[in-house]
Amino acid sequence: MISICLNILILLLAPFLMIGVIKKTKAFWAGRKGVSIFQPFWDFIRLMKKGAVISETTSWVFRYTPVIGLAVVIFAALFVPLATGKAIINIPFAFVLFSYVLGLGKFLSLLSALDTGSSFEGMGASREACFSTIVEPAFFITLASIAALSQNYSFESLKMILQNAGGYGYIIIALAVVTLFIMLLIECCRVPVDDPTTHLELTMIHEVMILDNSGIDLGLITWSAGIKMLIFGALIANLLIPAAWAWWAAVLAFLAILFILSIIIGTVESSMARFRMTHVYEFIFIMSITALLILALVTYRVYGG
Amino acid sequence: MGIYFFSIGMLLLGAILSIFVKEDWKLKVCTICSLLSAGLMLIPAINVMNTGVPFGIILHTSPILGNIDIVIDALSAFFLIVISIMSSLGLIYANGYMKPYLNKGMNISSHCFFLMMLILSMIMVVTVQNALFFLIVWEIMSLSSFFLVIFEGEKKEVLSAGIKYLVYMHISMIFILGAFILLNSYTGSLRFLDYLSYMQHGGAHANLIFALAFIGFGIKAGFVPFHNWLPDAHPAAPSHVSGIMSGVMIKTGIYGILRFLVFWGTPSKVVAYAVLAIAVVSALYGVLYAITQHDIKRLLAYHSIENIGIIGIGIGVGMLGLAYGNVFAAVFGFTGGILHILNHSIFKELLFFAAGSTYLKTHTRNIELLGGLIKKMPYTALLFIIGSIAICGIPPFNGFISEFLIYAGMIKGIPASSINLFIVLIMAIAALAMVGTMAMLCFTKAAGIMFLGNPRGVNLDNVTEVSGSMIFPMTVLAFLTFFIGMYSQYFISYASVPASMFTGGGDAFGTLMYLNEFTGDISCCFMVFLAIIVVLLVARYFLGLGKKLDKHVTWGCGYDRANNHMQYTATSYANLFVSTLKPLFKRVSHIKKPKDLFPQEAYYEQNIEDIEEAYIVKPLVMLDEKFLAKFERIQNGNIQQYILFGLVFLILAIIGMVYFGG
């Protein structure tokens, strides 16, 4: 019970803190003082109090997408082991359900972008849909290989790599962290795939899809994006925290990893610019390559050595 | 069994009555008859599904046909349920859809007659267990669907699509015939029962027989590279016919493959790998080409190929499970594949009906010209979006459940012994994931461009929502997609009954228990999901109370004279993806550049051709034509010479008989 409450608390609050830490890091590298790390939360509260302007072109799809999008990420988060190392809902083959549920959110957000009839938003939607066709197979190869390694089919298999793969486990973990980190950058629209703070709509992916959202809806969308970041952060944390640790140590390690991850994301954003759109593909293919390397290592471990 | 014949009788009665009643009443009579027939047919079918015990009857007919076994086993029963429900929903829809065509001098009588014959022959195909009679009803099915396709035969492209379909069906017939001839020559029997004992007891040439059957039935089902008739025939046919053909009729191809698999028992590894490979290629190929299509019905036809591929992946995984003795893969693969047959028939019919409704109102199938239909046709739009979400395999709708089972079969089916199987399965998983995301790209394109945004070309002023008789079947189908998604347990346990014909009892039973348990968990999860959505929607409603909500034009990034032609189009939406995979498509462009000082006419048109058609089918046809041109000399239109040819043939035949028969 305590574990569930803790998980839900983290689920609801950690996204804002992660965004806050990223902003603080970026401010640090830019030599500014920056806003408080709680600022994203206050921004969210402020958006909740605001009215909205919506486009005449839009229909119910546009109006309900932000809410359902939030429901989708919250539901998807229930399958991921958060702080205490246990998922709230633990079913076998959870990663399939997990990515297809996130697919619902993506489907609706693409439709909502097309609903406005804006060419910019259509462009963003096109890019988002296109990139995910490469991201998902890589994610599935990674997770299915890791599941085959430990013969455990839930997300708990992420913690079991070391037990089952011995020395190779470290390499597999390293590759998996890289894969999931790239996936985080793509799915949560961070530099170098997408720049959430750019001023030029032509170069955006996800941010351009929500140009017409305002007020409460915009608040919900930022919150969902934060939760998505937390989810992928949690997957990475699961790879790194050994299963044997006591729960309090695991919780502390989990929070520490999220914190460090946010700093890394902030540092990446400060140190490099967005890729040109044609190079984004090449970046995403790195993920496919690491996924295939994981498959190769697992194959060698299970059948070769 | 009496109920079965009574039900068939109802269909015949409908077919005959529809010829004699007034034009306005023809479809109504057919609908009533098919509804009654479907209701009756469900009784024995559900009975067999519940008990799992097959029952049948032997008809003693003339010496030529021999004794005809008519058997309803679990596999037949499953298909009977799909055929009955989906066809009668299609007929209800036809009432609304055909209204503008009535009393225009079109041949409604033959349309109704062949519609009923199609349903009847499909029912016979899945129940008859006598090779010769099976081929007869199979041919009736192909012919009646051909006449349905060429309903608007005065249009040239419709007729040529119909003829293409007819040719493909007869190539399919040759292969099926080949498989049955081989079986018949080894067993000397026409009964399926004898084939079963022959193939299961290590019959020689089992691989060959199955391969022939797979190609023959694969043409009907639309596996790549035998798929080419589908994208032409579906747009040509009226929408309810496309719905029934794509939703139900092509599944009889799958039925044939499954029936031969029942004969075989344990397939060989080579064939199992081949089936999986063809299925994966079909799934990827179908969705890839669907993305490039802008004719909504062509797009849906390509998605049929994709979904047949997904069904094939399920069957392939099941076959691999059987070949390697992996119970889990076998049970999950077959159950997932068979459930996907039902699921696909539901959402594909829904999508075809919704596409048909928009065609009826806007008179165009080109999605580039549409847009903003959601404001004129709100129900159709909602139903199309539900269908789109379901076909992409997104929860909580039905497509997810079957794909999830197939995934589970693949992930847990990985054996400790075979490195080949391990890599093949992981790659198949990746392919299925890719198919899912590409389907998402395709259907956000279709739904987004057709229904959302502003009108892109067609004037929508006079467009209204379609009539209730068209909304009703679509609503039923949409409800079914949701219901099967939410309460998957019951449907999975139904689908596992025919699946157990392949996997047998014993070990499989434990797996089934596991299956049951964990699908129950999924239903619970979806309940939680719905609860979260409802809570958030309510919270959102109360948050929004009393807040100011202004309406304004879409934000044009500083530009405030945006017009409808500046919207993203289907081509531009798909372009990033299509241009990335350039080598896989053959682009045909027609350009007329503007010339002179005062350019008058200029256009640019680009089409994407099917590479299988462009590089395999067309060259083959050309070769064939070249070869046959040599015989033109014989065909000179002179009747006296033709009689001479006949005489020469007879003499040669007699000489041959004397010489060889001696």
Residue B171 forms contact with A (CB below 8 Å): no
Cβ-in-10-Å burial (0-12, 13-18, 19+) of B523 comes to middle
Question: Distance between CA B273 and CA A68 in Å, rounded?
Answer: 41
Burial B529-560 (b: 16+ CB within 10 A, else e): beebbeebeeebeebbeeeeeeeeebbbbeee
ipTM value, please give it: 0.95
Minimal CA separation from B313 to chain A, in Å? 16
Question: Distance between CA B509 and CA B517 in Å, rounded?
Answer: 13
Q: How far apart are the first and last CA of chain A?
A: 42
pLDDT single digits (tens) A106-146: 999 999 999 998 888 999 999 999 999 999 999 999 999 99
Of B375, B422, B433, the CB nearest to A299: B422
Residue B607 identity (one-letter amino acid)? N
Of B430, B433, B448, the CB nearest to A110: B448
Cβ-in-10-Å burial (0-12, 13-18, 19+) of B236 comes to buried
Do residues B421 and B317 make contact, with C-beta atoms less than 8 angstroms apart?
Answer: no
Listed residue (B386, B469, B477, B472) closest to B86, CA to CA: B477
Cβ-in-10-Å burial (0-12, 13-18, 19+) of B572 comes to middle
pLDDT single digits (tens) B235-266: 999 999 999 999 999 999 999 999 999 988 88
Residue that the structure tokens 């809410």 belong to: A67
Beta bridge partners of A52: B549
Q: Does B71 reside within a domain?
A: no
pLDDT single digits (tens) B360-416: 999 999 999 998 899 999 999 999 999 999 999 998 899 999 999 999 999 888 776
Distances (CA, A) of B633 to B626, B636, B652: 13, 6, 20
Q: Which residues of A touch B447 (CB under 8 A)?
A: 111
Which run of H or of E encompasses B111? helix B108-127
Q: Does B314 reside within a domain?
A: no
Cβ-defined contact of B518 to A136 (cutoff 8 Å): no
Is the pLDDT confidence value at B662 over 70?
A: no
pLDDT single digits (tens) B459-477: 888 899 999 999 999 999 9
Do residues B380 and B358 make contact, with C-beta atoms less than 8 angstroms apart?
Answer: yes
Listed residue (B39, B33, B34, B40) closest to B4, CA to CA: B40
Preceding peptide of B396 cis, ω within 30° = yes
Question: Distance between CA B399 and CA B347 in Å, rounded?
Answer: 8
Do residues A90 and B590 make contact, with C-beta atoms less than 8 angstroms apart?
Answer: no
pLDDT of A88: 86
pLDDT of B401: 93
Question: Distance between CA A264 and CA B658 in Å, rounded?
Answer: 91
For chain A, percent of residues with pLDDT exceeding 90: 56
Per DSSP, chain A holds a count of helices (H) and strands (E) of 11, 1
Q: Does B288 or A197 have the greater pLDDT score?
A: B288
Do residues B355 and B365 make contact, with C-beta atoms less than 8 angstroms apart?
Answer: yes
Q: Does B357 reside within a domain?
A: no
Residue B395 forms contact with A (CB below 8 Å): yes
Of B375, B437, B550, the CB nearest to A59: B375
Distances (CA, A) of B69 to A51, B43, B126, B133, B191: 71, 20, 12, 9, 7
Question: Mean pLDDT lowest for which of A154-168, B51-65, B282-296?
Answer: B51-65
pLDDT single digits (tens) A261-280: 999 999 999 998 888 888 88
Average pLDDT, chain A: 90
Distances (CA, A) of B331 to B82, B320, B327: 21, 11, 6
Task: Report the domain count for chain A.
Answer: 1
pLDDT single digits (tens) B267-323: 889 999 999 999 999 999 999 999 999 999 999 999 999 999 999 999 999 999 998
Task: Report the domain count for chain B.
Answer: 1
Q: Does B641 reside within a domain?
A: yes
**Which letter does DSSP use for residue B55 in this model?**
E
Do residues A14 and A2 make contact, with C-beta atoms less than 8 angstroms apart?
Answer: no
Minimal CA separation from A46 to chain B, in Å? 12
Of B392, B419, B444, the CB nearest to A114: B444
Do residues B567 and A58 make contact, with C-beta atoms less than 8 angstroms apart?
Answer: no
The chain A residue lying nearest B519, using CA atoms, is: A91
Task: Residue A54: count other Cβ atoms within 10 Å of its Cβ.
Answer: 19
pLDDT of B65: 67
Compute chain B's Rg from CA coordinates.
26
Q: Does B370 reside within a domain?
A: no
Cβ-in-10-Å burial (0-12, 13-18, 19+) of B295 comes to middle
pLDDT of B474: 95
* Mean pLDDT across A165-178: 90
pLDDT of B417: 73
Residues 93..122 of A with a Cβ closer than 8 Å to B: which?
A: 93, 96-97, 99-101, 103-104, 106-107, 110-111, 113-122
Question: Distance between CA B570 and CA A126 in Å, rounded?
Answer: 10
Report DSSP letters for B353-375, one per residue. Answer: HHHHHHHHHHS--BGGG---HHH
Three-state secondary structure readout of B501-533: HHHCCCHHHHHHHHHHHHHHHHHHHHHHHHHHH
Preceding peptide of B267 cis, ω within 30° = no
Minimal CA separation from A51 to chain B, in Å? 4
Domain encompassing residue B654? 632-662
Average pLDDT, chain B: 90
Question: Distance between CA B279 and CA A36 in Å, rounded?
Answer: 55
pLDDT of B638: 86
Question: Distance between CA A227 and CA A39 in Å, rounded?
Answer: 16
Listed residue (A41, A35, A31, A25) closest to A226, CA to CA: A41
Question: Distance between CA B216 and CA B444 in Å, rounded?
Answer: 34
Domain encompassing residue A175? 2-304
Q: Does B127 or B203 have the greater pLDDT score?
A: B127
pLDDT of B584: 85
Listed residue (B57, B116, B112, B48) closest to B80, CA to CA: B48
pLDDT of B231: 92
Task: Residue B380: count other Cβ atoms within 10 Å of its Cβ.
Answer: 26
Write the CB contacts of B648 (distance below 8 Å, at least 6 apart in sequence): none
pLDDT of A201: 73
Q: Which residues of A touch B566 (CB under 8 A)?
A: 119
Do residues B110 and B92 make contact, with C-beta atoms less than 8 angstroms apart?
Answer: no
In total, chain A counts a number of residues equal to: 305
Which run of H or of E encompasses A174? helix A168-187
Do residues A246 and A2 make contact, with C-beta atoms less than 8 angstroms apart?
Answer: no
Is the pLDDT confidence value at B635 over 90?
A: no
Do residues B543 and A48 make contact, with C-beta atoms less than 8 angstroms apart?
Answer: yes
Minimal CA separation from A69 to chain B, in Å? 9
Burial A206-227 (b: 16+ CB within 10 A, else e): bbbbbbbbbbbbbbbbbbbbbb
Cβ-defined contact of B555 to A55 (cutoff 8 Å): yes
Structure tokens at A72: 């989708």
Question: Distance between CA B220 and CA B216 in Å, rounded?
Answer: 7
Distances (CA, A) of B36 to B5, B32, B43, B79, B87: 13, 6, 11, 18, 12
Listed residue (B318, B304, B484) closest to B391, CA to CA: B304
Of A55, A60, A93, the CB nearest to B553: A55
Q: Model confidence at A189, in pLDDT bands (50, 70, 90)?
A: confident
Residue B556 forms contact with A (CB below 8 Å): yes
* Mean pLDDT across A142-154: 89
Q: Does B578 reside within a domain?
A: no
Helix (H, G, I), strand (E, B) or coil at B394: coil
Is the pLDDT confidence value at B582 over 90?
A: no
Of B403, B449, B554, the CB nearest to A57: B554
pLDDT single digits (tens) B148-158: 999 988 899 99
pLDDT of B597: 84
Residues 115..174 of A with a Cβ closer than 8 Å to B: which?
A: 115-123, 125-127, 129-130, 132-133, 135-141, 144-145, 147-148, 153
pLDDT of B581: 86
Listed residue (B280, B244, B275) closest to B257, CA to CA: B275
Structure tokens at B244: 């029934």
Cβ-in-10-Å burial (0-12, 13-18, 19+) of A299 comes to middle
pLDDT of B416: 67
pLDDT of B536: 95
Of A114, A119, A281, the CB nearest to B580: A281
Do residues B28 and B68 make contact, with C-beta atoms less than 8 angstroms apart?
Answer: no
Minimal CA separation from B490 to chain A, in Å? 19
Helix (H, G, I), strand (E, B) or coil at B607: strand
Do residues B306 and B287 make contact, with C-beta atoms less than 8 angstroms apart?
Answer: yes
Q: Strand B55-60 relative to strand B67-72: parallel, antiparallel, unpaired?
A: antiparallel
Question: Distance between CA B372 and CA B553 in Å, rounded?
Answer: 14
Cβ-defined contact of B533 to A302 (cutoff 8 Å): no
Within a 13 Å sphere around the CA of A193, how many CA atoms are in the beta-carbon half?
27
Dmax (CA) of chain B: 101
